[in-house]
Structure 1
């Protein structure tokens, strides 16, 4: 147990924090009903977790290097557990959103330290085994999220998707204290507090503006102010990072076209493949009458195809150019999303299966290739920073896409129903309240139209990203890394 205890402790935490990205999706209709939550509130329940993870990941990694990674991981797990308890006890959407943000803070502390802890605990063949198991756990979390979320929501209520984190967190903390060795960055250094705050302000303002645009419109004063604050924060971030001795992000990396291409692919991966899924889940449950369990199972083809492709790709695609894998994978994601954009008023869940599978195959090609391409695009001394930046923009892409695609979906529903209020209620899971006032066929047609437009936009984003990657990424072939996930590799900072 002592030998593999660190692996178990790290995998327990990783499984939880990645599960909480997808487990919420199938519980949205129940949350909306229980908390009388609006569409924008549901968006924030998803977004604020990914946003905190994106905004704090690089800063958390630097803090863990200084304070001690085991200590940081254990503290993050405790915060994650306490905020999960608060999420389960929330009596309003505002409280739930606030506690989800704290969850994201804890998840960032955990996520930033998982692979460095494994790198310090294992060497040689044992390290290869540990990283392989850790990568498989990541795939399992994605596949099990909708299923477990559906089972808990239908069997015990949506609050249990958060309560289930408590015993797992307790086990992870106990194991971490007992068997995980402490490690730090021997080079020392300082945390770039200014960079961390400015990047968080940039990401938060950008996401807030995108969510608010769905309610007030893209030209509304509050929306424009949010985007202006975001742009100003980004500008000041760039100035600050150019002057600090140990920056959160070395901006000289952005002069490398291949690295820029990797960041484009990272944003497009999460945005295109997953940005429309929350609204698809609401459609499955509130329009088609599926239960949380069956609604979750309807989305499993994507996760299973991704997991299988990633596993087989590591065996059969050894040595294939990461540029080719990224381009083909993004194109498949695009075609898969176009395949999901064929709904009409009579469509059911079977209409999604082929598109979900094609999208999943694309995700399975892109996810492992991203890590290899990121490492190949920068000097070895910058590998930790490069993968951390990739992870941050990947989560940020997901958060912003939820808002942007939600706005597009509801705008097309508004055109069909000729009522913005009814469209937002429909997209927010309140189809039951509209029945009797609006013909059932009109509701089905409006939702199908909205999802089609969202899927087309997501597919177009993936195709454009594939073209950008083809133009920018010019790295030589490299063996794919064993870590098939979006977390940073265990490389010490210089």
Structure 2
């Protein structure tokens, strides 16, 4: 067992940071009731974490190469633990969001170093075993997130989903310091501070503007200022990256249609498959009255289907046609999410089951191939930036996807409420989206009708986007020679 203790240390951190992406969904209604926040605040509980991960993954990878991967991994664990404690003790929604952002910073430091630690610790056949176990833990984290969130929330309250990280982090730090050997490349690559800053501002301002549009309208001052800031910061990012000798993200990579299509696929996959789950959780608990545990169980079919297929789909990694599993997976996600438009005013949770299973099959089919396919279309010396780019666009897709779908949901619910003569339909729609279905004074039939209509819009848009991304990948992703794809697989592991 002794040779495998480093793997245990790395997997503990990996499991913890990935569980925290999905564990929050089930706890959103209790958080809203406890802290009195709106749907916009709830969105930031998820998006703050995802944006921090997206913005800092490539930067923390550079820091790890320079200062030591074990050192940065431990720093990430400590920051993550402190932020988790702050989340568990947060007195207000603003404090919770701030702590979640810090959690994402710690998570980025961990996420950027876990694979490198395994690659430098294990060699030969043991490396394959280590990465196989690590990949299984990745899938298991997604499968356990909703159910674990429901169990902890119902037993001890929503704060427990954050406080449970503390003993896990302490154990992971102790193991890492005891059994993991330090490694660093010794590279002195310049850290692209301007690029990281402008990227962060652009992403955060875009999400803020979309959330504000959902709550206050597209013409609101906050919305206009935020979206204007996002455009200006994006232009600044493009200029900085174009002129930089060591850019955080080489824009020249996007001239390759295959690389560009894979980045779109990574973002759309997360948005279409997972961004709507926050709204589903609100519907299950605040409208249908399910307990957190039962609400968590509803999402389990997607996670289990994804986990089982991702393990079985390993054989695709050795083929020369990554477009097939990626495009096929996105198509299944699109079909599965469109199947969930069957939800109506009188529907129960079982109306989601078949669609969640089909979408889960698509997630499991496409996800394992994304990184290796990206590395197969890039030169070997670009393996690091390729891997970081995929994970960055996945987290960015989740954050922006939730903001977009939340805005569409609020707009559709407002329209339905206005159509039946509801007084102040915008405020009522915001209350419904914030998990306050029982305190709006609106008849239950109207609440069910409005929420179902909002979900229908969300599922339709998400499904169509996934199908569009599937077509894009099928058209733009060039065939990869078998040897090139094997090189991509090896680079993905290393």
Give the TM-score range, shorter chain: over 0.9
Distance 1:242 1:456 in 2: 37
Give a deviation string over 1:418-462, Cα, whole Å, max 9, x none.
21111111111001112xx22211111111111011000000110
Offset from partner CA, 1:117-155 (integer Å, 9 cap, x none): 111111111110000000000000000000100000000
Alignment check: 8 A CA contact 2:38 2:433 kept: no
Q: Is the 8 A contact 2:372 2:492 kept in 1?
A: no
**Structure 1: 5+ residue runs without aligned partners?**
none
2:460 matches 1:472: no
2:42 pairs with 1:42: yes
Equivalent position of 2:422 in the other structure: none
Q: Give yes or no for contact 2:31–2:158 (8 Å, CA) kept in 1.
A: yes
Q: State the shift of 1:242 in Å.
A: 2.6
User: How much has 1:490 moved relative to structure 2?
Assistant: 5.8
CA distance in 2, matches of 1:234, 1:478: 37
Structure 1: 4+ residue segments shifted above 3 A: 315-318, 477-484, 488-491
Alignment of 1:449 onto 2:453: yes
Residue 76 (str. 1) matches residue 82 (str. 2) = no
Does the C-alpha gap of structure 1 residues 54 and 277 become closer, same or farther in structure 2, counting only changes over 3 Å? same
C-alpha displacement of 1:96: 0.4
8 A Cα contact 2:316 2:325, kept in partner: no
Shift of 1:315: 3.9
| Residues 19 and 144, structure 1, Cα contact 8 Å, conserved in 2 | yes
Paired position in structure 2 for 1:120: 120
- For residues 101 and 371 of structure 1, what CA distance do their matches in structure 2 show? 25
Aligned length: 486
Report what 1:16 is aligned to. Answer: 16
- Kindly provide the CA deviation profile for residues 237-286 of structure 1, in whole angstroms up to 9, marking residues without a partner as x: 22222332222112221111100010010011000111111000111111
User: Which whole-Å CA distance do the structure 1 matches of 2:160 and 2:32 have between them?
Assistant: 15
Q: After TM superposition, list the pairs within 5 Å mapping 1:258-269 onto structure 2.
A: 258-269=258-269
What is the rounded CA distance, in whole Å, between the counterparts of 2:432 and 2:331 in structure 1? 31
Q: Distance in 1 between matches of 2:68 and 2:243?
A: 27
Alignment-derived partner of residue 181 in structure 1: 181
Q: Tell me which of 418, 421, 429 is aligned to 2:435.
A: 429
Q: Does residue 246 of structure 1 match 2:246?
A: yes
**2:141 alignment counterpart:** 141
TM-score (norm 2): 0.95
Q: d(CA) in 2 for partners of 1:251 and 1:483?
A: 21
1:460 aligns with 2:460: no
Secondary structure of the 1:24 match is helix
For residues 382-401 of structure 1, what are the structure 2 equivalents within 5 Å?
Answer: 382-401=382-401
Does the CA contact (< 8 Å) of 2:207 and 2:400 recur in 1?
yes
CA contact (8 A) 1:322 1:477 kept: no
Superposed CA RMSD: 1.7
Cα distance, 1:377 vs. partner?
1.4
Task: Give 1:327 shift.
Answer: 1.1
**CA distance 1:482–1:426, shift in 2 (3 Å):** farther
Following TM superposition, by how much is the alpha carbon of 1:187 offset from its aligned partner in structure 2, in angstroms? 3.3
Q: Confirm or deny: 8 A CA contact 2:330 2:366 kept in the other structure.
A: yes
Equivalent position of 1:412 in the other structure: 412
CA deviation map 1:292-339 (0-9, x unaligned) = 001000110000111111111114774161111111111111111100
- Sort the Cα spacing of 1:295 and 1:151 in 2 relative to 1 into closer, same or farther, 3 A: same
Tell me how far 1:37 sits from its aligned partner: 1.1
Cα distance, 1:316–1:250 mapped onto 2, change above 3 Å: closer
Q: Distance in 2 between matches of 1:5 and 1:281?
A: 37
Cα distance in 1, alignment partners of residues 115 and 456 from structure 2: 39
How much has 1:65 moved relative to structure 2?
A: 0.8
**What displacement does 1:207 show?**
1.3
Deviation at 1:345, TM superposition (A): 1.2
Distance 2:298 2:324 in 1: 30
CA 447–388 in structure 1, closer or farther in 2 if over 3 Å, else same: same
Question: For 2:326 and 2:474, how far apart are their aligned partners in 1?
Answer: 8
Q: How does 1:182-197 map to 2 (within 5 A)?
A: 182-197=182-197
TM-score by length of 1: 0.95
Work out the CA distance in 2 between the residues paired with 1:234 and 1:473: 26
Contact 1:285/1:292 (<8 A) preserved: yes
Distance in 2 of aligned mates of 1:481 and 1:337: 32
Q: Distance in 2 between matches of 1:459 and 1:447?
A: 18
Aligned counterparts of 2:125 and 2:176: Cα–Cα separation in 1:
22
The SS at the match of 2:3 is coil
Cα distance change, pair 482–308 in 1 and its aligned pair in 2 (3 A) = farther
In 2: Cα distance, 1:180 partner to 1:116 partner: 12
